[in-house]
Amino acid sequence: MNAVLGGRIEGLTALHLDDDDLDPRARLVVIGNGMAGARFVEEVLERGGGEQFRITVFGDEPHGNYNRIMLSPVLAGEEHEDDIVLNSHDWYADNGVTLRAGVMAERIDTAAKLVYAADGTVTAYDHLVLATGSYSFIPPMKGVRTDDGELRPGVYGFRTIDETRAMLDAVGRCRKAVVMGGGLLGLEAARALQGHGLHVELVHAMPYLMNMQLDPEAGAILKRSVEKLGITVHLDVFATDVFGIDSVEGVGLADGRRIDADLLVVAAGVRPSTDIAVRSGLEVERGIVVDDQLRTDDPDVYAIGECAQHRGEVYGLVAPAWEHARVLADVLTGTDPTAEYHGSRTATKLKVAGVDVAVMGINTPEREDDEFLVISEPRRGVHLSVVIRDERLVGATLLGDTRKVAFLTQAFDRGLALPEERIKLLVDLSDGAVEVGVAEMPATTQVCNCNGVTKGAICGAVADGCGSVGAVMDKTRAGKGCGSCKSLVKQIVEWAADGDVTEDVSASWYVPGIPMAKPELMAAIRAQDLRSVSAVFAALAPGGVDDARSKMGLTSLLKMLWGHDYVPEKDGEFINDRVHANIQRDGTFSVVPQIKGGVTTPAQLRKIADVAEKYEVPMVKITGGQRLDLLGVRKEDLPAMWDDLGMPSGYAYGKSMRTVKTCVGSDFCRFGLGDSTQLGIDLETRFQGIESPAKMKMAVVGCPRNCAEAYVKDVGVVAVGNGKWEVYVGGAAGASVRKGDLLATVDSPEAVLELTGRFLQYYRENANWLERTYDFVPRIGLDRLKEVLLEDAEGIVADLDAGMQRSIDAYTDPWGQDAKQPATPGQFRPSLPLIALPKVPVR
């Protein structure tokens, strides 16, 4: 819980020696290591400022710099905290910047030009930049704080990674949450907590949600969408009390109601952090007052980001903060000493609680002759409106459908001419306007709001030779903030490359290390008789150079192509495949024996229990795939354990056929229309261990009640009576959820086995590496699949059947094999010899 995000390895330190007298560079001190402060340092370094300045950064948070915007997905469990680090402690060290992480700056002596910090140090500066951001506003409520002034346990703000971690730590223990505040942060927090299984109620003091951005109707529609997620919304009421002795037990509302809750998130707005400026005698109103060069009333002290107030505005978004950073870097490094900041027109595009929202300008007509166009579809959760004044777009609100945001943003920014038929602003009257939109967009239109990247900059990157969307994103940083503009960036890159390089070249390659698409690669492998991964690299990779990230995909392909005749190379496999088990976070492994169709026996269960005890397995778990998982097994114990189990591998680690789930079917269930259990066992027996571009999971159910979830499997089989079976393909209920498409209705279990094999083989031969069937089936199209597999339109059905049979014949149980004779020396040697294992919790 206390790990430092973006921290350094123990023993290394980021402190630099300050040999003041010898260093001729001016001292630049930044207070606040958030999104503005750190970006400012980057901008200074990019302008060669490392030669001019000795830079010191104070950060109250102990971490490196991280992407605060991404705290919502971290709280939702969609993003790992390690992946939101922008600048690690190492980055500062590598760039010669002194980071005083975990140190709060307390006071500035502007006359002596000294910063006094909480750790007792005094730091001299020539130029000082305040980037202290904002803090969560905690409205006065009885009981919200304990006697010592701290927030009562169970009450959280939502601003920092530490608060996010604390909430994530609490969700497991809590059942009911109240979120105070129905703005962006409150909605995000509510959705995230709800995703962790908490019952969530949202209390908002205003009459409608997101009242800062939306109009009342849009707010009402958003409320419906949020309620559809299962979140209860209370509007127009203040929370006045927080109940609870030690930790939170409930929240009292102004109208006397009480809501029980063991977790309270306060997201009732933010306030600029201006304490240090106030204490130091700088001019502060709502924020720290700055001029067009971000200078405070002291000529050597500047303020940027959310703590700054410029021309009366205080911003709460990252884009203005980053604009501040650019302008100030221009000024201070002398790159453009006359650079000025004139304010930001905020056009915001967000995804709030799963709903797309884009807002710009005003949201309701303000003058007599303002034109106002509204399209409202409450049932679909869509509400679109525009405000037009004197033939100019002065405001737009898009909720639930943001397809027109590109054109509207440019019309808003540039004052473009508007279509006579105003409705075209909001709805595509199917005249293919999207392409035109990108082409017509002026070069100065900002595409990525987070990073302030214009269409011109994107086109410039393409002109400079960036050949792919990824390369353009790396170069310009477009799409690297909240990510909501990615599809627009892609459209522009494609347009700018003028059809020449419409696609990421390498995107069509099967693996990154070999410049060939899958069909071409398969043909070359066959033609040159390449049977091992190293032979493929030697013959087909540029310069014959091997590539670690390509090895796993090539191994899979070669196994499919050659069956028995594939020449195995252990280093071509991922560790899971090398030891036939799934690696865990502490380097131990999990063991999932095959339990065909989810049907086991008392003897098997006894065996598993004995083995679990003998090898001190920390957790035995029933998986989502209808079998048993032994987790936390030491690598060196694997062979002996398999031997004792005497059961074949369940392949829970491979890109291969995994499980066939079944229901109890006609043998036992009063609704059963077919023997789903037996058919499941037969499918699993036939296709066990077959490797594939990505996982293949199946299920068979005895009737359309679908108890084993066959509609959402790669292949799902449903008994529909009279001996008939429906075969669905391309279903999913993992990261994507998709109902499978009905490929055919057949009239015997044998026909199911045959058609399944045919489909799987076609998928194995034609899918991209890691492309699940839920992407593959829609890409090929159901009609095409039917033509190929049912009508044999390509005349390949016999080959498909033969190819699958070859793989089935080549199947050997890897556990039975390697338990007796390791494939390479030391196959099962521990890789972390000194750490006491296992480290996973023991249940």
Ligand X SMILES: Cc1cc2nc3c(=O)[nH]c(=O)nc-3n(C[C@H](O)[C@H](O)[C@H](O)COP(=O)(O)OP(=O)(O)OC[C@H]3O[C@@H](n4cnc5c(N)ncnc54)[C@H](O)[C@@H]3O)c2cc1C
88 binds, among ligand X, other proteins, ligand SRM, none (CB under 5 to 8 A by kind): other proteins
Q: What is the DSSP letter of 158?
A: S
Query: CA 197 to CA 772: how far, in whole Å?
Result: 27
Residue 735 binds which of ligand X, other proteins, ligand SRM, none (CB < 5-8 A, kind-dependent): ligand SRM
Smallest distance from ligand SRM to CB 476, Å:
29
* Residue whose entry in the numeric block shows the structure tokens 């809750």: 261
Compute how many other C-beta atoms are within 10 angstroms of the C-beta atom of residue 435.
11
Does 629 help bind ligand SRM (rule: CB under 6 A)?
Answer: yes
Residue 801 interacting entry, from ligand SRM, ligand X, other proteins, none, C-beta within 5 to 8 Å by type? none
Q: Give 631-662 as a DSSP string.
A: EEE-GGGHHHHHHHH---B--TTSSBEEEEEE
Q: Which does 826 bind (CB under 5 to 8 A by kind): ligand SRM, other proteins, ligand X, none?
A: other proteins
Q: Which helix (H) or strand (E) holds 336?
A: none
Q: Are strands 741-746 and 270-272 parallel, antiparallel or unpaired?
A: unpaired
Farthest CA pair distance, the chain: 93
Least distance (Å) between residue 202 CB and ligand X:
15
Q: Does 335 bind ligand SRM (CB under 6 A)?
A: no
- Does residue 624 touch ligand SRM according to CB under 6 A? yes
Amino acid found at 537:
F
Q: In this chain, which of 120, 795, 833, 841 binds other proteins, going by CB under 8 A?
A: 833
Scanning 243-251, 280-288, 529-537, 733-741 for contacts with ligand SRM by CB under 6 A, the matching segment is 733-741
Burial class (CB in 10 A: 0-12, 13-18, 19+), 672: buried
| CB of 555 vs other proteins, minimal distance in Å | 11
Asked if 434 touches ligand X (CB under 6 A), the answer is no
Window of 62-70, 91-99, 471-479, 621-629 that interacts with ligand SRM by CB under 6 A = 621-629
Backbone angles phi, psi at 423, to 5 degrees: -60, -25
Give the footprint of other proteins on residues 540-559 (CB under 8 A).
Answer: 545-549, 551-552
Separation CA 135–CA 445 (nearest Å): 32
DSSP-derived letter for residue 383 is E
The binder of other proteins chosen from 439, 505, 517, 835 (CB under 8 A)? 835
Sheet holding 114-117, edge to edge: 105-109, 114-117, 122-124
Q: Using CB under 6 A, which residues numbered 15 to 74 contact ligand X?
A: 31-37, 58-61, 68-69, 71-72
Q: Which stretch binds ligand X (CB under 6 A): 130-138, 575-583, 752-760, 816-824?
A: 130-138
271 binds, among ligand SRM, ligand X, other proteins, none (CB under 5 to 8 A by kind): none
Q: Work out the number of other CB atoms within 10 angstroms of the CB of residue 653.
A: 23
Residue 268 vs 641, nearer CB to ligand SRM: 641
At closest approach, how far in Å is the CB of 514 from other proteins?
12
- Of 100, 492, 131, the C-alpha closest to 277 is 131
- Cα pseudo-dihedral 456, 461, 465, 471, rounded to 10: -140
Q: Which of the listed partners (ligand X, ligand SRM, other proteins, none) does 108 bind, with a CB threshold of 5 to 8 Å by partner kind?
A: none
The entry of ligand X, ligand SRM, other proteins, none near residue 636 (CB within 5 to 8 angstroms by kind) is: none
- Considering only 80-88, 139-147, 175-183, 233-241, which stretch makes contact with other proteins by CB under 8 A? 80-88
Pair 656, 811: CB distance under 8 Å:
no
Contact yes or no for 742/755 (Cβ under 8 A) = no
688 binds ligand X (CB under 6 A): no
Residue 217's SS3 state is: helix
CB 360 within 8 A of CB 412: yes
Partner from other proteins, ligand SRM, ligand X, none contacting 60, C-beta within 5 to 8 A by type: ligand X
Do 197 and 166 touch, CB atoms closer than 8 A? no
Q: Which is nearer to ligand SRM, 695 or 758 (CB)?
A: 695
- Taking CB under 6 A as the binding criterion, the range among 45-53, 357-365, 655-663, 797-805 that sits at the site for ligand SRM is 655-663
Find which of other proteins, ligand SRM, ligand X, none residue 31 binds, CB within 5 to 8 Å per kind: ligand X
Nearer to other proteins, 123 or 451 (CB): 451
Residue count of the chain:
843
Neighbour tally for 718: CB within 10 Å? 26
- What sign results for the dihedral spanned by CA atoms 795, 800, 802, 803? positive
Task: Report the nearest approach of ligand X to the CB of residue 344 (Å).
Answer: 11
The residues, any chain, with a CB within 8 Å of residue 324's CB and separated by 6 or more, are 36, 40, 294, 304, 305, 308, 310, 341
| Distance of closest approach, residue 9 Cβ to other proteins, in angstroms | 5
CB atoms near residue 827 (< 10 Å):
16
Q: Residues 326, 295: contact at Cβ < 8 Å?
A: no
**Residue span 585-604 as binding mask against other proteins, x where in contact by CB under 8 A, dash where not:** xxx-----------------
Tokens of 270: 């933010």
**Given candidates 502, 736, 748, 831, which one binds ligand SRM under the rule CB under 6 A?**
736
Measured in degrees and rounded to the nearest 5, phi and psi for residue 832 equal -130, 75
Q: Which residues lie below 8 Å from residue 528, measured CB to CB, with a gap of 6+?
A: 539, 540
Contact residues for 290 (Cβ-Cβ < 8 A; gap 6+): 296, 302, 303, 304, 308, 309, 310
Q: Residue 526 corresponds to which amino acid? A: R
Q: Is 65 helix (H, G, I), strand (E, B) or coil?
A: strand
- Please identify, among the stretches 27-35, 607-615, 786-794, 833-841, the one whose residues bind other proteins according to the rule CB under 8 A: 833-841
Determine which residue in the list 135, 238, 243, 574 makes contact with other proteins, applying CB under 8 A. Answer: 574
Instruction: Pick from 53, 125, 158, 302 the residue near ligand X by CB under 6 A.
Output: 158
> Which of 360-368, 578-586, 698-706, 774-782 is the region at the interface with other proteins (rule: CB under 8 A)?
578-586
Taking the least distance from each CB to ligand X, the nearer of 278 and 622 is 278
Residue 440, token pair as written in the block: 């017509």
Q: In this structure, how many other beta carbons lie within 10 angstroms of the beta carbon of residue 711? A: 19
575 touching other proteins, by CB under 8 A: yes
For helices 184-195 and 216-228, angle between their N-to-C axes, nearest 10 degrees = 10
What are the CA-CA distances from residue 745 to residues 388, 671, 693 (Å)?
Answer: 55, 19, 26
Segment interacting with ligand X (CB under 6 A) among 299-307, 547-555, 566-574, 741-749:
299-307
**How many chain residues are in contact with ligand SRM, going by CB under 6 A?**
22
- The verdict on 295 binding other proteins (CB under 8 A) reads no
CB atoms inside a 10 Å sphere around CB 605: 12
Which partner in ligand SRM, ligand X, other proteins, none is near 695 (CB below 5 to 8 A by kind)? ligand SRM
Restricting to residues 589-608, name those near ligand SRM by CB under 6 A.
Answer: 590, 592
Q: Is 470 in the site for other proteins (CB under 8 A)?
A: no
From the list ligand X, other proteins, ligand SRM, none, which binds 276 (C-beta under 5 to 8 Å, kind-based)? ligand X
**582 touches, from ligand X, other proteins, ligand SRM, none (C-beta below 5 to 8 Å by class):** ligand SRM
Among ligand SRM, other proteins, ligand X, none, residue 830 binds (CB under 5-8 Å by kind): other proteins
* Residue 623 lies near ligand SRM (rule: CB under 6 A): yes
Task: Note whether 738 binds ligand SRM by CB under 6 A.
Answer: no
Q: Are 27 and 54 in contact (CB under 8 A)?
A: yes
Among 334, 301, 260, which residue's Cα sits nearest to residue 47?
A: 334
Minimum gap (Å) between residue 550 Cβ and ligand X: 35
Interacting residues toward ligand SRM by CB under 6 A = 582, 584, 590, 592, 621, 623-625, 627, 629, 652, 658-659, 661, 695, 697, 732-736, 772
Interacting residues toward ligand X by CB under 6 A = 31-37, 58-61, 68-69, 71-72, 104-105, 131-134, 158-159, 185, 188, 273, 276, 305-307, 316-319, 321, 350, 482
